[in-house]
């Protein structure tokens, strides 16, 4: 039987009312729930300074990184991203945030980007599912 460990990180806290796990380490694979910029997006909206798609993407990727590091990994272990946006017009800003986040890595994770009609809170414009394996490093990826 493969060992499973629940991963917790201060940078991506579990909600007290959650009926899901933010991240599970299954053997060498880290499986993460969809991450959003909440509560940072809610706090910014309340101040009248909503976070745009670029800023939300960086917040989300920061949560992914926090969970990955708590599992003993690094961003080079991320091999797949599913990105959900509420406005497809934000794809360039999401792409810029991903380029900035993965700068210097060389090979980007495989990815899907789709437009959805809405996310759990109205101020959210980006949600990301991420998969990582602790036994791979895209920074060392060979091109075919």
Residue at 142 is within a domain: no
Q: How far apart are CA 139 and CA 117, in angstroms?
A: 35
Residue at 120 is within a domain: yes
Residue at 133 is within a domain: yes
Q: How far apart are CA 89 and CA 82, in angstroms?
A: 17
Residue at 144 is within a domain: no
Q: Could you report the per-residue pLDDT of 75-97, keeping only the tens digit for each?
A: 999 999 999 999 999 999 999 99
pTM over the 0.85 mark: yes
Residue at 43 is within a domain: yes
Residue at 66 is within a domain: yes
Element (H, E) at 130: strand 126-133
Most confident of 13-17, 43-47, 82-86, 119-123: 82-86
CATH number for 25: 3.30.1330.40
Q: Find all residues with CB under 8 Å of 80, minimum gap 6, and list them.
A: 109, 110, 111, 130, 131
Residue at 113 is within a domain: yes
Q: Are 8 and 71 in contact (CB under 8 A)?
A: no
Q: How far apart are CA 86 and CA 66, in angstroms?
A: 24
Q: Are 52 and 93 in contact (CB under 8 A)?
A: yes
Count of residues making up the chain: 144
Task: Write out the two tokens for 106.
Answer: 């060389």
Provide the number of structural domains found in the chain. 1
> For residue 29, what are the domain limits?
4-13+21-137
Q: Work out the angle between the directed axes of helices 53-70 and 91-101 (0-180°, nearest 10).
A: 40
Q: Could you report the per-residue pLDDT of 96-107, keeping only the tens digit for each?
A: 999 999 998 879
Residue at 143 is within a domain: no
């Amino acid at each position: 039987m493969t060992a499973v460990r629940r991963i917790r990180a201060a940078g991506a806290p579990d909600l007290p009312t959650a009926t899901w796990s933010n991240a599970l380490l299954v053997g060498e694979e880290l499986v993460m729930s969809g991450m959003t910029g909440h509560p940072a997006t809610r706090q910014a909206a309340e101040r009248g300074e909503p976070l745009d798609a670029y800023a939300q993407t960086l917040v989300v990727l920061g949560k992914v990184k926090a969970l990955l590091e708590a599992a003993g990994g690094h961003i080079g272990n991320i091999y797949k991203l599913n990105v959900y946006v509420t406005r497809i017009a934000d794809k360039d800003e999401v792409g810029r945030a991903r380029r900035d986040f993965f700068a210097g890595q060389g090979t980007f994770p495989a990815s899907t980007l789709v437009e959805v009609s809405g996310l759990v809170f109205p101020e959210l414009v980006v949600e990301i599912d991420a998969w990582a394996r602790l036994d791979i490093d895209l920074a060392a990826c060979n091109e075919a």
